[in-house]
Each structure stands twice: as structure tokens, then as C-alpha cells.
Amino acid sequence: MEEKLKVLIIDDEESMRDSCSLILKKDGYLIDTAENGNKGLKKLEEWHPDFVLIDLKMPGIGGLEVLEKVKEIDPEIIPIVITGYATVESAVEAMKKGAYDFLPKPFTPEELRIIIKRGLERRNLIKEAESLRKEKKLIEENFITMVTHQLRSPLVTIGQYFEVILGGIVGDVSPKQKEMITKAKDRLEGLLELINDWLDIARLSNGQIMEKRKVISIGELVETIVDFVRPEAEKAGISVEILPKKGSDRVLGDKESLEQVFSNLIHNALKYNKSQGSISIKIEEREDCIATLIKDTGIGISKEHLPLIFDQFYQVSGTGKKGKGSGLGLSIAKKIIEMHKGNIQVESQKDVGSTFTVCLPKPPET
């Protein structure tokens, strides 16, 4: 049996409440009424109707105040304004406050039915959009589960078998066999990196990042990453220097995701650098943000490639880069920074080097 839709009528005129009730009851709606804004808000919270008809002019809490509260109580309720004081200004103000439609008094039964019918179509669209959003979220969650357990886990196991074979634990390996297994292992590691980047993109949620934000020190975060990569940099003959910071280094951010961003940028500065090159990192307080500049003396990026480097899967060909990547690292970094309401920019010159600048919002003043 189809559930009847509920309509709440808030109006200080008893005749208006009765006439609207009579019309809508004949069309199969469940009806409740309230003679003022205070009682109307209480019934909205307790009854959660599908539609609410609100008179603008009422003693006590007026219709505009009720309108403001409707979306807080239940965003799926469709509010419709009915008033005998219809003006362009009042209609515009009602729409700004969240009214779906505006019906001036007096109105005919058919006009009321048309307004409710249009509201019903709007409600169905909202329900359908919410259903699609939930379905999309479920697909994303299932995708993450599938990739993690049915694809990533077996590949990790294969990689472990390769390590066992290359270590000679199961018997001698000829030079030719070792060469072939090493190549297969390298390709497998590249595939796992791509899968991990896919998972990072799938897991990224603006809401989660905003909820996890707190005041952190970018300087301390960068120092931790530099200490981790320094042995690799020294082995490659590349110096890494953190310059004295200028002003505050405090930002409002999610530490885990920002570590991923700066780790990617610093590793890139190392990977695309030249032998005996250098990396310098500078943190400076600007008027509108905290800026972190990562400058390298590497191979650089030509002008025609610069606008594309933050695109997913984009890789600059012919760079002579050390190691293989998925082409998703910078795309993920840009997405994370934008979720923090910041921005990331790059300046580069071929065979001279690149400078990536990350600007993040300052914490609110206390």
C-alpha cells in the first residue's frame, strides 16, 4: 500500500487552514495544521511532513523565520509560501529563505493542486538524487574493497614469491632467469603503485579532510619527510636544505593527507634532479596563506607541458626520469590541496629546474 504524503498548513486564518485541508484531503494527503509559527515549528520537528504551506504574516514568529528553520529541521521538506501580502519583494525574500514556490491569496483549488504537484515532482527529484548519491557511494566502497582484496593482495603475494626466488631460497637462479624475474618484479611494483594511487583517489573525501583538519606545523612535517629521504639524496649526490622560515608556519590541515602531498613533491624533486644537484625548501608567511616553495635544480619541464602536469595519468615523455610512476601523484596532490581551500602552482625551465609552491590557509585567529 502506497504511503500517503503529509502536508502541514501553518496559517493564522482558520478559514484558510480549513479550506486547504478540505482540498488536499480529497486528493489523498494526510493533513495537519498550526495557527502560528511557534506551533508550526513544533509540528515540523515532531511530524516531519513532506510539504509545508506557510503564511508570511502571522503573530509571533513570522513565515520568513519559519522558512529559515525548515531546512535545518529536514532539508527534504518542500516549503510553499501562501500569503495575502504578495509583492515582488516578498516573493524574492521568500525564495532566498528557501521557499520552493509562492502562492498569493486568494487562490483557487486548482492553483493549489498545481503548486503541490510541482512540489511533488521536485521532492521526487530530490529523493532520486539522494538515492543515486548513496548508490554511487556504495559503488565506490565496493570498488575499494574489490581492488584491495581481489587485486592488490594477490599482487603483493606474487611480489613476495619473486623476492624468495631472487634470494635463492628455493634453488639456484641463472643470470638470465634473474634478469627476467627482476624485470617482472619491477613491472609488478609499478602496477602496485598505480593501484595504490587509484585507492588514494577513491578514498579522498572532501568532508573527511575538512573534519580532520587541525592546526599543524608545515615546518615539522617537511623536516620529517626530509630526514626520511636524506640517505637516498646523499647516495645520489643531491643536497637537501630547509631554509629559515619567514613568519608563521602554522596551517589548518589534515596532517596525513598533507604528508602525502609534500612527500610526493620532495620525492619528485629528488627523482627528477641531476647528479650533484640541490633541493631547497622555503616556508614563508604571506598575507593570505602559508606558502611552501620546493625548488630543485633538475631536468625541468618545458613550457608546453606545464599546463598538463596536474592532469590524471599525464606523464612528460623523454624526461630521462629515474624510476616509473603512475602519472597520478601530482593529480592527487592538487586535489588534496584544493580540498584544503589552498592552491598549488609550478614554475619551471627546461634543464634548469622547477619550483612548486603550495599555499595553504592560515588557522583562524583566536
Q: What's the pLDDT band for 226 if we cut at 50, 70, 90?
A: very high
- In whole angstroms, what is the distance from residue 183 CA to residue 175 CA? 12
Looking at 75-79, 82-86, 231-235, 307-311, which range is the least confident one?
A: 82-86
Going by their DSSP bridges, the two strands 101-104 and 51-55 should be labelled as unpaired
121: in domain? no
Last residue of one domain, picked from the residues 203, 221, 250 = 203
- Do 220 and 298 lie in one domain? The reply is yes
120: in domain? no
Residue 307, number of CB atoms within 10 A of its CB: 10
Q: How many domains does the chain have?
A: 3
- Do 180 and 321 lie in one domain? The reply is no
Could you list the beta-strand ranges (E) of the chain.
6-10, 30-34, 51-55, 78-83, 101-104, 214-217, 239-242, 250-253, 278-285, 290-296, 343-349, 353-360
pLDDT in tens, 37-52: 999 999 999 999 999 9
More confident residue, 358 or 191: 358
- Do 101 and 173 lie in one domain? The reply is no
- Do 215 and 319 lie in one domain? The reply is yes
Which pLDDT score is estimated for 354?
94
70: in domain? yes
- Do 216 and 352 lie in one domain? The reply is yes
Q: Average model confidence (pLDDT) for the chain?
A: 86
Q: Judge whether residue 255 has pLDDT over 60.
A: yes
- The predicted model gives 171-186 an average pLDDT of 89
Q: Judge whether residue 258 has pLDDT over 70.
A: yes
Which pLDDT score is estimated for 318?
47
Which pLDDT score is estimated for 320?
47
Which pLDDT score is estimated for 207?
58
- Do 193 and 275 lie in one domain? The reply is no
Predicted structure pTM score: 0.54
- In whole angstroms, what is the distance from residue 246 CA to residue 6 CA? 61
Helix, strand or coil for residue 113?
helix
Q: Could you tell me which residues come within 8 angstroms of residue 17 by beta carbon, excluding any fewer than 6 positions away?
A: 9, 11, 33, 35
Residue 70, domain extent: 6-107
Q: What's the pLDDT band for 323 if we cut at 50, 70, 90?
A: very low
pLDDT in tens, 146-169: 776 777 788 888 888 888 888 888
For residues 339-362, b (16+ Cβ closer than 10 Å) or e, as one string?
Answer: bbebebebebeeeebbbbbbbbeb
Helix (H) or strand (E) holding 213: none
Which pLDDT score is estimated for 327?
66
Q: Judge whether residue 314 has pLDDT over 70.
A: no
Max CA distance (Å), the chain:
97
Q: Which residues pair with 279 in a beta bridge?
A: 240, 296
> Are 185 and 159 a contacting pair, CB within 8 Å?
yes
259: in domain? yes
Which pLDDT score is estimated for 315?
67
**Phi and psi angles of residue 317, each rounded to the nearest 5 degrees, phi first:** -80, 155
Nearest CA among 340, 70, 65, 324 for reference residue 187: 324
128: in domain? no
Which pLDDT score is estimated for 228?
92
Q: Could you tell me which residues come within 8 angstroms of residue 116 by beta carbon, excluding any fewer than 6 positions away?
A: 7, 24, 27, 29, 51, 80
- Do 214 and 349 lie in one domain? The reply is yes
66: in domain? yes
- Do 55 and 145 lie in one domain? The reply is no
- In whole angstroms, what is the distance from residue 17 CA to residue 12 CA? 8
Q: Judge whether residue 1 has pLDDT over 50.
A: no
- The predicted model gives 332-350 an average pLDDT of 91
Q: Output the nine-digit C-alpha cell for 18.
A: 480549513
- Amino acid present at 322: K
Q: Judge whether residue 365 has pLDDT over 80.
A: no
Share of residues in the chain with pLDDT > 90 (%): 42
Residue that is written with C-alpha cell 494526510 in the block: 30
- The predicted model gives 337-345 an average pLDDT of 92
More confident residue, 115 or 194: 115
Which pLDDT score is estimated for 316?
58
- The predicted model gives 45-66 an average pLDDT of 89
- Do 193 and 328 lie in one domain? The reply is no
Q: For the domain that residue 90 is a member of, what is the CATH number?
A: 3.40.50.2300
Nearest CA among 51, 53, 33, 29 for reference residue 43: 33
Q: For the domain that residue 322 is a member of, what is the CATH number?
A: 3.30.565.10
- Do 85 and 31 lie in one domain? The reply is yes
Q: Judge whether residue 247 has pLDDT over 50.
A: yes
Question: Which of 65-74, 208-217, 312-321 is most confident?
Answer: 65-74
Q: What's the pLDDT band for 313 if we cut at 50, 70, 90?
A: low
Which pLDDT score is estimated for 324?
53
Nearest CA among 143, 201, 194 for reference residue 332: 201
Q: Output the nine-digit C-alpha cell for 187.
A: 613491472
Which pLDDT score is estimated for 345?
94
Last residue of one domain, picked from the residues 203, 223, 255 = 203
Last residue of one domain, picked from the residues 185, 203, 221 = 203
262: in domain? yes
Helix (H) or strand (E) holding 350: none
Q: Judge whether residue 63 has pLDDT over 80.
A: yes
Q: What's the pLDDT band for 256 if we cut at 50, 70, 90?
A: confident
- Do 216 and 310 lie in one domain? The reply is yes
From the DSSP assignment, how many helices (H) and strands (E) are in the chain? 11, 12
pLDDT in tens, 127-143: 888 888 888 877 766 77
142: in domain? yes
Which pLDDT score is estimated for 76?
86
- Do 195 and 252 lie in one domain? The reply is no
pLDDT in tens, 90-140: 878 888 888 888 888 888 999 999 999 998 888 888 888 888 888 887 776
